[in-house]
Structure 1
């Protein structure tokens, strides 16, 4: 996302005083979304807005990488992890210094799992899909997946470590 949504809400937000001794040092955002293209789009937009609010501004490389990784993970959850009537869960964690970001997307479909990172196949030149995880693999420092503990489904995660916030 390259453009900042035009909203005067940034200046009219109610800001609570921060107790710096007890304030959390890291930022975490999590929410369930409908397992539809609209849900994936909403997740991407909310992450873009939230990351900007966490002082990783729009139009920076760090912001764009975070949003693109989340977009690919949520799109895959909708396309390959969709179960009618079930949502997907997004968790985004950004370290205080914004040098490490972890995104996790959990869906409820167990039988369709991605390949292991070391066995990620390259799509053919005529293929119309299959590049999403290649993007994640190239943008993220590391990524992987595991079965969802305590229930059906899986969690696909990616971590991005940035040398310096940009």
Structure 2
């Protein structure tokens, strides 16, 4: 498991994405692979949302990555991004509105929906919310074959 706190700024969101990519390489997910690209995009979007929409001055957001490696199925990467703005919960995946074609924003969670096996938002104790997304990693891109299930999960 990988967990770090970052400043709720664009720089913090960028650092979260870069460190997530580095951790995936350490877990055996090849840099430049489809799985690495999808994970970077999802982490980048959720971190940017936390820094933009979930920002509370003086409070950080948190990124957690967990590589779940069941023996009989493809590995799953769980991405969790938590912030301290409980009142700004995004709509569910099936309730996302279609952004105006020329809008500058509003497409990020559509990307997360397209790439993630599933995603959800849930309350965080004592305050805030957590957005959780899971990505199924194809065989050969999960790192499980390279360093073993428990080792890849950081256990």
Q: TM-score, normalised by structure 1?
A: 0.79
> 13, 17, 20: which is aligned to 1:40?
13
Structure 1 gaps of 5+ residues are 1-27
Contact conserved, 2:25 with 2:31, CA < 8 A, in 1? yes
Structure with bigger gyration radius: 1
Count of aligned pairs: 138
Q: Does the alignment pair 1:143 with 2:119?
A: yes
The counterpart of 2:91, out of the listed 105, 115, 119, is 115
Measured on the aligned residues, the alpha-carbon RMSD in Å equals 1.3
Structure-2 residue corresponding to 1:9: none
Higher helix proportion, which one?
Answer: 2
d(CA) in 2 for partners of 1:54 and 1:161? 15
Q: Which of 126, 130, 137 does residue 155 from structure 1 map onto?
A: 130
Q: Out of 131-140 and 120-129, give the one that drifted further.
A: 120-129
1:35 and 1:87 in contact (8 A); partners too: yes
Which runs of 4 or more aligned residues in structure 1 lie more than 4 Å from their structure 2 counterparts after TM superposition? none
Shift of 1:40: 0.6
Structure scoring higher RCO (CA < 8 A, sep ≥ 6) equals 2
Structure 1 match to 2:67: 94
